[in-house]
Amino acid sequence: MKDRSPLTDKKFASRVDWNLMRTFVDIVRAGGIGAAARQLNKQQPSISAALKRLEEHVGATLLHRTANGVEMTAAGKAMMALCEDMLESARMMPHQIAQATKRVEGIVRIQIVSALISNEFDEAIASFHRRNPDIHVEIRVSPWRRVLDALEQGEVEIGVGYDSAVRASLVYEPMLSERQQLYCARSHPLFGYQVTRLNELRDEGFVLTGEDEIEAITHLRRRYRLGDKVSGMAEDINEARRLIVHGVGIGFLPVLSAREEVKKGRLWPMLHADTEPTYEIFLLARSEPSRDTATQLFLDEVVRRIRAQRGP
C-alpha cells in the first residue's frame, strides 16, 4: 500500500504540492523546461525535477520532451486547463481582496469609438461605479486606430473598438458585432429605393469618417469606387450622421446608431440587409501583468456581463 501514486488516489488534491501546478503552467507557456527556468530565475534541473514530481503524483506523462522543448500529451492538456483555472483564481486574489477590504481608489481611463451602443457596457459602468464609488472613471472618444495606440502607450487602461489584427500586447474580449449600412437623407432622390448595383452610386457625394472608417468599408468603397467625390467628413459617427441626415451626402453608419433616424424617416438604408458589412467590436486591455486593481475590477465587471450575455 506504499504505492499511493496512481490516478485512483482519492486524496490527490491534498497530497500534491500545489506549486507544481504553477510551475507546470510556466513550463508549457515558456515552451520548455530550460526556457521556464530562465524566466523564473531558477536552475534548469530544478524545473526538470519539479515536472517529474508532478508527473509522479499524477501517474501519467504530462509533457513529451523533444529536442526543442516540450509538447503536451492528452493528459497534459487536461492538466493545463485545470492549472490555468487555478492560476486565474490566484491572479484574482489581490484584486478581490482589495475590493473586499478597503474602498479601492484609482482611475480607469477608457478610450472608445464614437456612437457605441451596448447595454451591457452601460450597465457595467453603472454597477462598477456603484460598487467602487472612489474610482474615477474617464471616457474619451476617438477613431479606432487611436484607441489602439492610446492603449499601447499606456494613456488609457481600457479600450473599446475594432482591430484588424491581433496584437500580443493586448487582450481582446468580443463585445458585440456591429453592422453598417449605407444611408441617404430624405431629400435624396434615391430615398425609398433599394440599391442593388453599387456601381450606380459612383458619382454620389459621400460623407466619410476618415480615420475612423472600418477597413471592411474602405475595401468595399475602393472596390466600387465609392466616395471618390467627398462631400463631407467627420470622424465622430454622431457628427457624420448629422451631415448625412442633413443631406450633405450619403455615407456608411452603424445600423444601431442610425436606427432612431430611420424610424423618424430622416435616413434611408440603401442596401439590402444581407450586404451590410459586419465586424466585431472588442473590449480591449493591455495583457495581464500591467493592470492595476481598479482596472482589473472594471475588466471583471464588463467581461462577466458580456460573457453572460453571449453565453446563451
Partner DNA sequence: TGTCTGACATCAATTCTGTCTATGACATGG
Partner DNA sequence: CCATGTCATAGACAGAATTGATGTCAGACA
Backbone angles phi and psi of 188, in degrees to 5 = -75, 140
The item of DNA, a copy of itself, none sharing an interface with residue 293, based on CB under 5 to 8 Å by kind, is a copy of itself
Of the two residues 196 and 290, which places its CB atom closer to a copy of itself in the complex?
290
Q: How far is the CB of 309 from a copy of itself (least distance, A)?
A: 10
For residue 51, state whether it binds DNA (rule: CB under 7 A). yes
Q: How far is the CB of 269 from DNA (least distance, A)?
A: 56
Q: How far is the CB of 204 from DNA (least distance, A)?
A: 56
Q: How many helices (H) and strands (E) does the chain have?
A: 11, 11
- Rounded to whole angstroms, the Cα distance separating 152 from 143 reads 15
Q: How far is the CB of 62 from DNA (least distance, A)?
A: 10
The item of a copy of itself, DNA, none sharing an interface with residue 290, based on CB under 5 to 8 Å by kind, is a copy of itself
Which stretch in 53-61, 129-137, 230-238, 239-247 sits in contact with a copy of itself by CB under 8 A?
53-61
Beta strand pairing status for 170-185 and 267-269? Answer: antiparallel
In our burial notation (b when 16+ CB lie closer than 10 A, e otherwise), range 222-251 reads eeeebbeeebbbbbbbebbbebbbebbbbb
Strand, helix or coil for residue 293: helix
Q: Let me know: does 181 contact 252? Beta carbons within 8 Å.
A: yes
Q: Which of 43, 89, 194, 238 binds a copy of itself (CB under 8 A)?
A: 89
For residue 74, state whether it binds a copy of itself (rule: CB under 8 A). yes
C-alpha 37, offset from chain centre: 31
Task: Find residue 269's DSSP bridge partners.
Answer: 183
Q: How far is the CB of 231 from DNA (least distance, A)?
A: 57
Task: Find residue 282's DSSP bridge partners.
Answer: 161, 174
For residue 107, state whether it binds a copy of itself (rule: CB under 8 A). no
For residue 82, state whether it binds a copy of itself (rule: CB under 8 A). yes
Which stretch in 41-49, 98-106, 185-193, 229-237 sits in contact with a copy of itself by CB under 8 A?
98-106
For residue 46, state whether it binds DNA (rule: CB under 7 A). yes
For residue 14, state whether it binds DNA (rule: CB under 7 A). no
Contacts of 145 (CB under 8 A, 6+ apart): 211
Rg over alpha carbons for the chain, rounded to the nearest Å, is 26
- Rounded to whole angstroms, the Cα distance separating 226 from 205 reads 9
Q: Which residues bind a copy of itself (CB under 8 A)?
A: 7-14, 16-19, 21-22, 58-60, 74-75, 77-79, 81-83, 85-87, 89-101, 289-293, 311-312
* Contact residues: DNA, CB under 7 A: 17, 32-35, 41-46, 48-53, 65-70
